[in-house]
Amino acid sequence: MADNDTAADAQTRSAEEQSETPPALPWRARTAMLSLGAFVVGTDGFIIVGLLPEIRSTLHVSTGAAGQLVSVFSLAYALLGPVLAAITGKLPRRRVLVAGVALLAVGNAVTASAHAYGLVLGSRVLAGAGAALYMASAVATASHLAGEARRGRAIAMVTAGATLALVLGAPLGTLIGGAWGWQAAIWFVAAVGAAVAAVLAVLLPPVQLDAGATLRQRIAPLADGQVLRILVVTLVAFVGVFLPFTYMSAVFEPALGGDPQSRLALLLLVFGIAATGGNLGAGALADRYDPRRVVIGATVGIAVVCVLMMAVRETFPLVVVAMALSGVVSYSVIGPQQHRIIGQAPPGGAPLVASLNTSAAYLGNFLSSALGALLLTRSAALVLPVAAGFAAGAALLTWLLPTRGAPNES
């Protein structure tokens, strides 16, 4: 009888160990499914920019009004993300993930079928809310599935879906839009989103993140100085990231020659491929080394690349090389920052802190757009040194403001 009890105990311990430490293949496969949703989110965000001229013509609005479709999506993502993450913190992750990507698909379906500007504008808020709800939960879920030791790689796999959207999703959508109209391109995003929602509903296992945590515990990071330090770094860093990216055409105008559209498309392709590699590499480094040092290295790299761009902005082959370097270092920031901020999360707080960090990045994007427009009234040459200053400032802040208790940080 004792031998039977011992054997039963051993089997129980073995089962518990297996449940606590899932094998490598399952967590990678499940995280790959989450990256599909990130691909849809990224495609939605990138594709709308290339379709704005057609949308403006169809809806009979100004270029500025059409551009608000991009701004509204970004602001909805930034502002609603933390709220939705806090509200849905106790719900099963599969339900939240499916709801997020389904909401994004519905928003795009409304965009594609609407004929009034106000309804299209409202649909972009709906899509932005779905994107924010999905991405925060996807990052937190991937981190949970992979475990602490593989957190950086799991986060990188999810965010790689968004960078691949720049390489594959946006060009494919633009091609569809050119052949069959902008509504067809938006329907394409809606259809892919619906398909991903179905895949997640069927194949993703149930995941519960600290269901016992109270709402007060989940929103505690809002008053945590350690979390706020990381958010400030993300905000400052992404102003530096998006300044040269958003105003690429103005910054590199001397090198674009007589075929600016083709050359800009090539620069975007090179940037996207390099960004995917940089993102995955930074995730592995964040697992192996101090993620704070990875952030410092990446932000210093952004500053250095911006300085190099100042010297080569009139020579297209060198600009291509500079954009590749920029892609690597620019997308080596968000993954390690998510790694750091999830390390500061209280029970049940991972989705909220991940959402706050992404919101800070989107706010940096918004501020860079406004600041860049101001700089262009003086000279496009000012964009790069100002971007370098923001990146260097982010590196200095990361060095001066270490966080307590995060894995691998000191």
Residue 209: what pLDDT? 63
Q: Name the token pair of 332.
A: 């080596």
Q: Where are the alpha helices (DSSP H) in 88-169?
A: 93-113, 117-146, 151-164
Do residue 192 and residue 237 come from a single domain?
Answer: no
Q: How confident is the model at residue 410 (pLDDT cuts 50, 70, 90)?
A: very low
* Residues 58 and 117 sit within 8 Å (Cβ to Cβ): no
The sign of the torsion formed by the CA atoms of 136, 139, 143, 149 equals negative
256 shares a domain with 197: no
Taking all residues of the chain, what is their mean pLDDT, rounded to a whole number?
Answer: 83
Tokens 């009139």 found at? 314
> Does 19 fall in a domain?
no
Tell me whether residue 187 is in a domain.
yes
d(CA 377, CA 391): 22
Residue 330 lies in a domain: yes
What's the maximum distance between 2 C-alpha atoms anywhere in the chain? 86
Same domain, residue pair 130 and 231: no
CATH of the domain at 172: 1.20.1250.20
Mean pLDDT over 139-161 rounds to 81
Residue range of the domain that includes 126: 26-209
CB-CB contact of 182 with 58 (8 Å): yes
- Confidence at residue 403, expressed as pLDDT on a 0 to 100 scale: 67
Most confident of 33-37, 115-119, 245-249, 325-329: 325-329
Task: State if pTM tops 0.85.
Answer: no
Residue 7, domain member (yes or no): no
Average pLDDT of the residues in 203-225: 67
Note whether 220 and 135 are within 8 A (CB).
no
The pLDDT tens digits for 49-108 are 777 778 888 888 886 677 778 778 888 888 888 888 878 877 888 899 999 999 999 999
Please identify, among 209, 239, 256, the residue that sits at the C-terminal boundary of a domain.
209
Decide if pLDDT at 303 tops 60. Answer: yes
**Sign, CA torsion 175/180/183/189:** negative
pLDDT at residue number 64: 67
| Same domain membership, residue 342 and residue 384 | yes
* pLDDT (tens digit per residue) in 16-49: 344 444 444 477 778 888 889 999 998 888 787 7
Side chain identity, residue 73 = F
Q: Which residue is associated with the tokens 């946006």?
A: 170
Quickly count: other Cβ atoms within 10 Å of residue 305's Cβ. Answer: 24
pLDDT score, position 16: 38
User: Which of 56-70, 356-370, 387-401: highest mean pLDDT?
Assistant: 387-401
Last residue of a domain, one of 179, 209, 239: 209
> pLDDT tens for residues 239-284?
999 888 878 888 898 898 877 767 887 888 888 889 989 988 988 8
CA angle 273, 361, 284 (to 5 degrees): 50
Q: Which long-range contacts (CB under 8 A, 24 or more apart) does 65-72 make?
A: 65/117, 68/121, 69/120, 69/121, 69/124, 71/366, 71/369, 72/121, 72/124, 72/125, 72/128
**CA atoms of 184 and 188, how far apart (whole Å):** 6
Q: Both 356 and 241 in a single domain?
A: yes
The rounded percent of the chain whose pLDDT value lies above 90 is 32
pLDDT at 186: 92
Q: What angle do CA 79, 80, 83 make, to 5 degrees?
A: 110
Mean pLDDT across 105-131: 93
Domain limit, last residue, from 157, 188, 209? 209
Q: What is the structure's pLDDT at 78?
A: 83
User: Could you give the residue ranges of the DSSP H alpha helices within 257-404?
Assistant: 260-288, 291-312, 316-330, 334-342, 350-376, 383-400
Q: Are 199 and 246 part of one and the same domain?
A: no
Separation of alpha carbons 26 and 259, rounded Å:
47
In a domain, 368, yes or no: yes
- Specify whether the CB–CB gap between 344 and 224 falls below 8 A: yes
Quick one: 47 and 75 in the same domain? yes
Residue 355 has a pLDDT of 81
Residues 160-202 have pLDDT tens digits of 888 888 778 777 777 788 788 889 999 999 999 999 999 999 8
Helices (H) then strands (E): counts for the chain:
18, 0
2 in any annotated domain: no
Angle between helices 260-288 and 291-312 (to 10 degrees): 160
Give the residue among 92, 101, 91 at the shortest CA–CA distance from 199. Answer: 101
Please enumerate in sequence order all residues whose Cβ is within 8 A of that of 351, keeping only pairs 6 or more positions apart, or say none.
Answer: 85, 88, 89, 96, 136, 137, 140, 209
Same domain, 178 and 253: no
Say whether both 234 and 154 belong to one domain: no
Q: Which of 345, 356, 341, 346 lies closest to 398, judged by CA?
A: 341
Residues in the chain: 410
Which tops the pLDDT comparison, 378 or 262?
A: 378
Q: How many CB atoms lie within 10 A of CB 70?
A: 16
Whether residue 360 is contained in a domain is answered as yes
Same domain, yes or no, for 184 and 237? no
> Looking at the structure, do residues 273 and 323 belong to the same domain, yes or no?
yes
195/224 same-domain check: no
Domain count, the chain: 2
pLDDT at 31: 83
Domain assignment present for residue 13? The answer is: no
